[in-house]
Amino acid sequence: MKKYKVTFLLDKENLWFEKQLRNYKFKNRNKYVFSISKDYRKIKKQNIVFPISYTRILPKKFLTNHEYVLIPHPSKLPKDKGFAPIQNQILKKERKIFISLIKAVEKVDEGPICIQNYFDIDKTDLSIDIRRKQGKAYLKIIEDFLNIYPKVNFKAQIGKGNFNKKRTPNDSEINANKSIKAQFDKIRICDNEAYPAFFFLNKKKFIIKIYKK
């Protein structure tokens, strides 16, 4: 029986999903051969490539060298294209986070949609909880696609969208004169190690790390 070739392309600088991916057992393992790569140049002609949280623009040649290059994007496209879509939605008080599985095209996050699903964010979820739920939703939408492949359909994105700019560590600054409650969403989307929340007081910088008991 012919097996279809599937590769997950991960970003060396953004590996939050790797552990969940390696620990997950896909149901249709008799139908697929799975591999993981952190260098798109080493990926040879595949049936499906899933770039996950990949922060670089892939060249056109890469997109055309494979049957499908599919990106799970965490928003209800065309809303919240671009960077940090989940963080930006939480700051807008969104609780239901959609995942759109789209075909990769030259323009960022402009591809047609194959599948959409969603997961819920609790008011007390911290960055680590949100990542875990995001990873679980990614695995589900990928599994859903693998269950229907090769019979797949796409639909164009409809409606007016927006594009989020890239967040920087400076976006993790909070106001020392405001309450924690008023700024909780801004604090909880920060990563304790990569980009922790911080504030300035008396010309000194203070770091805040948050954990759930």
150-188: pLDDT as tens digits: 999 999 999 999 999 999 999 999 999 999 999 999 999
Cα 111 from chain centroid?
15
Beta bridge partners of 4: 32
Question: pLDDT band at residue 2, thresholds of 50, 70 and 90?
Answer: confident
| Strand-strand pairing, 163-164 and 81-82 | parallel
What are 11-43's pLDDT values in tens digits? 998 899 999 999 999 988 889 999 999 999 999
Residue 1: predicted pLDDT: 73
3-class secondary-structure state, position 144: helix
Tokens of 192: 């304790």
Question: Kind and range of the H or E element at 131?
Answer: helix 127-148
pLDDT of residue 29: 83
pLDDT of the residue at 55: 87
In the chain, what are the domain boundaries? 4-163, 168-208
Q: How many other C-beta atoms lie within 10 A of the C-beta of residue 200? A: 12
pLDDT at residue 80, as a whole number: 97
Q: What is the pLDDT of residue 127?
A: 96
pTM, to two decimals: 0.94
User: Three-state SS across 150-185?
Assistant: CCCCCECCCCCCCEECCCCHHHHECCCCCCCHHHHH
**Percent of residues, the chain, with pLDDT higher than 90:** 94
The answer to whether the beta carbons of residues 24 and 52 sit under 8 Å apart is: no
Specify the CATH class of 4-163 in words.
Answer: alpha beta
pLDDT of residue 28: 83
Share of the chain above pLDDT 70, in %: 100
